[in-house]
Structure 1
Amino acid sequence: MSILKKFITYYRPYKNLFYADMFCALLVSIIDLAFPQILNYLAKNLFTQDKGVILNAIGFVGISLLLMYVIKYFCQYFIISWGHIMGARMETDMRKDLFSQFQRLSFSYYDKNNTGEMMSKLVVDLFDISELAHHGPENVFISALKIVGSFSILLLINVRMTLILLLVTIIMVFFSVYKNYKMAPSFSDSRIKIAAVNSSLQDSLAGVRVVKSFANENLERLKFQKHNHEFLESKNRIYKLMGSFHAWNSFFEGLLYVVIIVSGGIFIADGSLKVSDLAIYVLYINLFITPIDVLINYTESFQKGYAGFKRFIEVMETLPDIADKDTAEPLTDVKGDIIYKNVSFRYNDDSNVLDNVSLAIKPGKTIALVGPSGGGKTTLCSLLPRFYDVTAGSITIDGKDIRDVTLDSLRNAIGIVQQDVYMFDGSIRDNIAYGKAGATEMEIIEAAQNANIHEFILSLEQGYDSYVGERGVRLSGGQKQRLSIARVFLKNPPILILDEATSALDNESERYIQNSLEKLSKNRTTIVIAHRLSTIKNSDEIVVVTDEGIQERGDHKQLIEKAGIYARYYNMQFEGLE
């Protein structure tokens, strides 16, 4: 019932359209139910009259029937067109809500879920739900009206024969409910299997360059074939169940006709039923059986839509790990005074990545984090914009706990340049402008100039309108990196995080980017993660972080003189020691 209530909420914006759809469905049902009665009346009252009476009346009868079916035409048009439009609008609303929920969810959700599966929920599941949203109420309403209406008229024609018909129908309904119950898990399994197919496809296409570099196309084909075959097996199980389901229901429909013919023959023999009444009875049997058949055939759509909506609700009810408090206030006039106080952190139920770490960064200063991979440097930086929340301790900016300020204001105050740069599908201008909504052309150009990428952009045939390709495949690593720096220049944040921004670049690209980064870091509180120690020699403070916490801190000269971990790393890089 809770799922049904949530489903109904999506009808509310379109309730007038829904009521109009149901009204048209009512008219269609009345017209379908009226025709056999009209035929019965004409057969008994008009067609038994003489030729002149029939000819005088038949024109009026024909015009009335034609008008009736013109009304049915417009009703059917409304049901098919606007009914589907209503379903499509509801699908759009659900897709908007689901996408917004994906945007709200924290990094921890994406750590545990696959992109392909999320895309399946956003596209495949929601299409099935929209079909359910349109056809569900309409089919149930029309079918219920026709079943109740035709059954009532059948009772008026012959009570005993109709009660026999009811007994067979009840057996048929119980059988259908039982089979539906058996099919439900198979439809849910099918949703999971198609999500796995989408996941495999997304993974293989996103990594196609790695696939080809290892000549592993055949391996990817086999992986995809496995998921594809599992989906086929799931569909096979569904269709076998449906085959049995529909075959048995077809048998029951035939049984209804057998019962009517046999019982009708008996009742005609004993004089309690006229042959003409049996003919009308058979017409109403068709009206009685057809909506039952519609509901039975609708089973597959219902199961798909219901399974899809359950998956939709599971995502919508997932609470983000990171969210604003009710009392959260915007972070304003940021100076950049950052303090990590006794900070500990772990991912899920794992052991601590950071344990009781304390660190203070003064406004406008640059601090560098160095140390072995896995020591927690990136984690330490990820905690500042609250990509994850600390397990213990606190982080403050200008004396305010970051958990007490709004996420938007916090993240707007922080600019991040990462080693793995993501370029969005579109033009160079679009990718730079991502750093500031509504940026002017002059602001975009100035940001590019500050990032030492303006001249390169002008050398391209389409300049700032040049297409970067999916994930920026048309650009080199250094060019993408400078575009990402231009984004941050445009954002102009008071706090900056540089996460190994030059580690994957050649020497010439590194020189260009290092100049850009030095310009970007000026007068900003900056945290640098670096493996190339030459890039951090001028930092105000260097902190050596290992899996045992902070081991050393000081400027370059002090740490070299100390001859500890940092000095050893430095000598390994610049004196060729192994």
Structure 2
Amino acid sequence: MGANEANESVFDVYRDRVDRPLVRLFRSYGRPEIAWFGLGMAANVVARVASLLPPLVLGVAIDAVFVASDPFTLPVVPDAWLPTTQSSQFQLSAALIFGAFLTTAVFTWIYGIAANVFAHRVMHAVRTDSFERMQRLDMPFFDDKQTGEVMSVLNNDASNLEVFLDDALQNSARLGVMVLGIAALLFYLNAQLAVVTLIAVPAMVLFTLWFMRVVEPIYVAQRASVGDLNTRLENSLGGIQLVKTATTEDYETERVRRASYEYFEQTMQVIKLNYVYRPGMELLAGVSFAATYVVGGVWLFSDAPGPFTGELTVGTFVTFLLMTQRFVTPLAEVSNIIDQYENAKASSERVFGLMDIPVRISDAPGAVELTDPEGRVEYDHVDFAYPENALKAAQQEISGERVLHDIDFVAEPGDTVALVGPTGAGKSTLLKLLLRLYEVDRGEVRVDGHDVRELTLSSLRGAIGYVGQDAYLFDGTVSENIRYGDFDAGDERIEEAARAAEAHEFIRDLPEGYDTRIGERGVKLSGGQQQRLSIARTVLQDPEILILDEATSDVDTETERLIQESLDRLTKERTTFAIAHRLSTVKDADTILVIEDGRITERGTHEGLLDAGGTYATLWGVQAGEVETGSG
């Protein structure tokens, strides 16, 4: 791995490794929807071919019906099938023109429906697969990656691909049919004048290749700036309470202004290039039209000019002018197609970059189900260090500072093990290894004798209930949030779980009871209410192993007492790990582990640790003194 790669995030590295992203998009996601794609393309071709018929018929009618200088003939149609009188020729011409416009309209509608179904089906699959993949990524990715940039991939980049599949592809097909069809007709009518009309095409091709080469890296930078802006907006809005209480509105506004200006600058670079490319293409297309008009006009007024030979009729000249104008419009729109193509290419690189990030923590080959767990947990001389970043984690490189050292203990089924110690000592990290949110570097964590790395993640985590110090609730009803512990639970079980968590009383007082919507992250509830819903969710899960990471940290003393009584009943027959700041909540634990600087420095019961006179006894003395002072 080179020096530059070492400074990049895992997302940047795997995005840069994506090869032919749009080809991969079609291979992986377009193929299952190929029927819709084929229908759209076929309808598009028919519509565009039909749209070329009116100018051709008009030219033939001018020469045969109005000027009467040439016979009434149509390409690929035998003369014996065509009428011979001027009135019938006029009627046929009118019918063909009307029929061509009707055919164009009908098949354009078919193409529009088919193209949109194809694009939206593909994007539905891409968006859901990206989200599923993102959820399975290891925790270091989320520690290292800003949420706003991931949201940009799932929303903005997916939408860019949708626009490309819906518009750019079909417009490219339309352009190809129009250019080839018009060129074929022009050469059929007058090959010499056709050369004049098409003389600017090579210059257009070269100009387009230059534009694609220059604009591509700018699009990549533009997409990155969108992610940065989204992250800044999400962080500022997510922390709006802190922003207001700290009166940092001006500071946050300035940070958003800088991120927005970066996006503005990248966007302006794209726009500036577009305003060089588009007028340039229009100029070259205009040169084709002007050259056709001048050469054809001179040809009509006098003999064939210069090297040209033969005759040019009025009808043919009119057809050339109409066809050239139709030729100009799609060529001038090439810039839009290139715009969408480059945008889609940059976006697809980001989408597949996200999908390609390797998942280190997953089910091992031959992983077994943890069935009927008893709840025996062993930490066997465990060491752990956080990787410096998600890239090193994905590549299984351990380079960070070690945060856990030789952790070794056993929790028997039904035991309660309390972890105490200063903030940052490694208590929460230790229990996240049991959930396999992170992987141990040395040693083993075992459940019922199985190394957790040999168990399926679903069965391992399904046997463990986790209540963290930060209760996360979804935007929905109270009932929906509790039911997250067991989606099959009925209303009766939900109410039982709420009662066990001392939540039923306040839920009953809400405007719509269990059907009350609580807002994003439970913003309409107090911190204590949020925590009790989180505990009710875990009660409903009914796990064999319970992790309480300062689960009562956000409730008042009386509510804490009530919840603690419920938790005591809940933990009676479960293996429980409790991280607590208030030692009074864990003094009855079977084993208390004192964690300092990632090491177990003391272990024992409450009374035994007090008698030992170590760190635990000191902490207990300080907290007991605070209680006495507060009550005195």
Residue in 2 aligned with 1:45? 64
Aligned partners of 1:166, 1:76: CA distance in 2, in Å?
27
Instruction: Give secondary structure in 1 for the equivalent of 2:525.
Output: coil
Matched, 1:6 2:13: no
Task: Compare 84-93 and 99-108 and name the one that shifted more.
Answer: 84-93
1:75 equivalent to 2:107? Answer yes
| Regions of 4+ moved over 6 Å | none
Aligned counterparts of 2:463 and 2:169: Cα–Cα separation in 1: 50
Cα deviation per residue 1:385-444 (whole Å; 9 max; x = unaligned)? 111111111111011111111111111100011111111111111111111012111110
- Structure 1, 72-81 or 397-406: larger mean CA deviation: 72-81
Deviates more, 1:444-453 or 1:287-296: 287-296
Find 1:568's aligned residue among 614, 618, 622.
618
What's the offset of the Cα at 1:212? 0.9
User: 1:475 aligned to 504, 514, 525, which one?
Assistant: 525
1:357 alignment partner, SS class: strand
RMSD of aligned residue pairs (Cα, Å):
2.2
1:295 aligns with 2:314: no
What residue number does 1:59 align with?
A: 91
Matched, 1:170 2:202: yes
- Aligned equivalents of 1:202, 1:504: Cα separation in 2: 25
Residue of structure 1 equivalent to 2:8? none
CA distance in 1, matches of 2:68, 2:105: 32
Equivalent-residue separation in structure 2 for 1:529 and 1:272 (angstroms) = 96
Residue 305 (structure 2) aligns with: 269
Q: Percent of pairs identical after alignment?
A: 33
Counterpart of 2:320 in structure 1 is: 281
Asked whether the 8 Å contact 2:477–2:514 carries over to 1, the reply is yes
Counterpart pick for 1:86 among 97, 109, 118: 118
Relative distance call for 1:209 and 1:387 in structure 2 (3 A) is same
CA contact (8 A) 1:478 1:510 kept: no
Alignment match of 2:285 (pick from 227, 240, 253): 253
Shift of 1:543: 0.8
Q: What amino acid maps onto 1:45 in structure 2? A: A
Q: What is the CA-CA distance between 1:52 and the residue it aligns to?
A: 10
How far apart, CA to CA, are the structure 2 residues paired with 1:566 and 1:522? 24
Q: 1:141 aligns with which of 149, 173, 182?
A: 173
Q: In structure 2, what is the Cα distance between the partners aligned to 1:473 and 1:557?
A: 41
Shift of 1:273: 4.3
Measure how far apart 1:180 and its partner are.
1.8
TM-superposed deviation, 1:315: 0.5
Distance in structure 2 (CA, Å) of the matches to 1:315 and 1:208: 29
Count of paired positions: 578
Q: Which amino acid aligns with 2:338?
A: T
Equivalent residue, structure 2, for 1:502 = 552
Offset of residue 118 of structure 1: 1.4
Q: Do residues 307 (structure 1) and 357 (structure 2) align?
A: no
* Contact in 2 for aligned 1:116/1:196 (Cα 8 Å): yes
Preserved contact between residue 54 and residue 96 of structure 2 (Cα < 8 Å): no
On the 8 A contact 2:53/2:97 being kept in 1, the answer is no
Q: Compute the displacement of 1:473 (Å).
A: 2.0
Task: Please report how far the alpha carbon of residue 161 of structure 1 lies from its aligned counterpart in structure 2 after TM superposition.
Answer: 4.3
Is 2:540 the partner of 1:490?
yes
Deviation at 1:166, TM superposition (A): 4.2
Q: TM-score with structure 2 length normalisation?
A: 0.87
8 Å CA contact 1:25, 1:141 repeated in 2 = yes
The 8 Å contact of residues 375 and 448 in structure 2, kept in 1 or not, is answered as yes
Contact 2:368 2:455 in 1 (8 A): yes
Q: Which moved more, 1:301-310 or 1:535-544?
A: 301-310
Partner of 2:149: 117
Counterpart CA distance in 1 for 2:132 and 2:204 is: 44
Matching residue of 1:440: 490
Q: Does 1:520 align with 2:559?
A: no
1:183 to 212, 215, 229: 215
- When structure 1 is superposed on structure 2, of 398-407 and 268-277 the one drifting more is 268-277
- Rounded to whole Å, the distance in 1 between the matches of 2:558 and 2:275 is 67
Is the deviation greater in 468-477 or in 38-47? 38-47
Deviation track 1:511-542 (CA, whole Å, cap 9, x = no partner) reads 12211221221100011111211111100011
- Can you give the 5+ residue segments of structure 2 that lack an aligned partner in the other structure? 1-18, 70-82, 388-398
| Amino acid in structure 1 at the alignment position of 2:40 | D
Cα deviation, residue 136, structure 1: 2.8
Deviations 1:279-303 (A, max 9, x none): 3322332233332223233222222
Q: Is the 8 A contact 2:428 2:549 kept in 1?
A: yes
Equivalent-residue separation in structure 1 for 2:289 and 2:94 (angstroms): 31
Decide which moves more: 382-391 or 246-255: 246-255
1:203 aligns with 2:235: yes
User: What secondary structure sits across from 1:268 in the alignment?
Assistant: coil
> Is 1:413–2:432 an aligned residue pair?
no
| Distance (Å, rounded) in 1 between the aligned partners of 2:204 and 2:104 | 30
Partner Cα separation in structure 2 for residue 297 and residue 435 of structure 1: 49
1:529 is aligned, of 570, 574, 579, to 579
Please name the residue that 2:35 is paired with: 16
For the residue of structure 1 that corresponds to 2:414, the secondary structure is: coil
Task: Note the C-alpha offset of 1:32.
Answer: 2.3
Instruction: Name whichever of 304-313 and 1-10 sits farther off.
Output: 1-10
Aligned amino acid, residue 20 of structure 1:
L
Give the drift of 1:261: 4.1
Of 581, 591, 595 in structure 2, the residue corresponding to residue 545 of structure 1 is: 595
Structure 1 pair 257–3 and aligned structure 2 pair: CA distance change class (3 A): same
Encode CA deviations 1:287-337: one digit per residue, 9 max, x unaligned: 333322232332222222221111111111112221112311211110011
Shift of the alpha carbon at 1:260? 3.0
Counterpart residue number, 2:377:
338
| Alignment deviations for residues 71-110 of structure 1 (CA, whole Å, 9 cap, x no partner) | 2111111222332232122222211111111211121111
Which stretch shifts more, 173-182 or 465-474?
Answer: 465-474
Deviates more, 1:7-16 or 1:255-264: 255-264
- Paired residues of 1:338 and 1:360 also in contact (CA < 8 A): yes
- Provide the secondary structure at the position in 2 that maps to 1:434: helix
2:48 counterpart residue number: 29
Give SS of 1:538's match.
Answer: coil
Shift of 1:153: 2.6
The partner residue of 2:478 within 425, 428, 438 is 428
> Residue type of the partner of 2:425?
G
Q: For 2:25, give the aligned amino acid.
A: F
Whether contact under 8 Å (1:417, 1:488) holds in the other structure is yes
Residue identity in the other structure for 1:118:
V
CA distance in 2, matches of 1:161, 1:66: 28
Deviates more, 1:286-295 or 1:198-207: 286-295
The alignment partner of 2:108 has SS state of helix
Give 1:487 shift: 0.7
How does 1:455-474 map onto structure 2 within 5 Å? 455-474=505-524
Counterpart of 2:63, as a letter, is: K
Deviations 1:163-207 (A, max 9, x none): 455442111210111012111112221111122221111111111
Task: Output the CA distance in 2 between the equivalents of 1:548 and 1:33.
Answer: 77
| Aligned equivalent of 2:444 | 394
For residue 382 of structure 2, what is the amino acid of its counterpart? V
- Counterparts of residues 376-387 of structure 1 (less than 5 Å): 376-387=426-437
| Residue 162 (structure 1) shift | 3.6
Give the Cα separation in 1 of the matches to 2:23 and 2:89.
52
Letter in 2 for 1:288: F
